[in-house]
Amino acid sequence: MKFPPNIILIGFMGAGKTSTGKELAEALNFEFLDIDQWIEEKNKKNIPEIFEECGESFFRDQEREAVKWAASKKRAVISTGGGLWLDEQNRSLLKTIGWCVWLKVGAQMAWKRVGTYLAHRPLLSRSQDPFNEMQKILGERDPVYALAHASFDSDGKNPKEVSREILGLLKEKKLFDLD
C-alpha cells in the first residue's frame, strides 16, 4: 500500500514524537511540523496557559483546526500532542494524508521522560497522584493509538534509533513514491 508522502507521529506524552520527528524530517528532507507549537504560536500562549485560561475543550478545538491546516501539507513529518489522535475526526483526516505511526511508550519510561517536568503537562500536573493518573490515561488510550497504520517501541531507544527503524520499514515496504 502507498501513502501520500507525510509521516504523522502519534502516541503518549514522553514517547519522543518531537525528537524522533525531527530526526525523520532531516533524514527524508521533509518539513517538520509540530501541532502543539502551531497552537502555541497562534494563541501566543504556552500549552499550560491555554489549558488554564481557555480550558481543555478550547485546546481540543485548536487541535482540530491544526489538523485541517496540516492536511494541506506534502513531504512533512507531523508531530501531534498525545490526546489529538483520540478524536475520531482527527484520526480519519490524518489517515488520508499520510502514514500514521504510533510511537509506543510504557508507563515507567513515559514517567521517566515527563515526570520531572510536570508543569508542562496540564493533564498530569493538576492530579494529586500524577503517576497513577498517567498510568490510567495511558491504559485508556493505548487501544485507540493502536488504530494507527504502524507502531514502533520507543522504550529504551534514542530518537535516532527509533527513526532508523521507521525509515527501514518505510523503504522496505516502499510506502511512499518519492522521486
Between helices 159-172 and 17-28, what is the axis angle to 10°? Answer: 50
Other Cβ atoms within 10 Å of 76 Cβ, number: 21
Supply 87's cell numbers.
478524536
Coil, strand or helix at 150: strand
For 120-135, letters b (16+ CB in 10 Å) and e give: ebbbbeeeeebeebbb
Is the Cβ of residue 5 or residue 80 nearer to ligand S3P in the bound state? 80
* Closest separation in Å from C-beta 94 to ligand S3P: 15
Is the Cβ of residue 6 or residue 62 nearer to ligand S3P in the bound state? 62
Is the Cβ of residue 12 or residue 30 nearer to ligand S3P in the bound state? 12
Going by C-alpha positions, the residue among 1, 25, 39 that lies closest to residue 122 is 39
* Closest separation in Å from C-beta 47 to ligand S3P: 5
Is the Cβ of residue 19 or residue 176 nearer to ligand S3P in the bound state? 19
* Closest separation in Å from C-beta 59 to ligand S3P: 7
In this structure, the strands spanning 76-79 and 6-10 are: parallel
Q: Which residues bind ligand S3P (CB under 6 A)?
A: 13, 17, 36, 47, 81-83, 121-123
Is the Cβ of residue 134 or residue 175 nearer to ligand S3P in the bound state? 134
* Closest separation in Å from C-beta 36 to ligand S3P: 5
* Closest separation in Å from C-beta 56 to ligand S3P: 8
Q: Please state, in angstroms and rounded to a whole number, the distance separating the CA atoms of residues 153 and 161.
A: 10
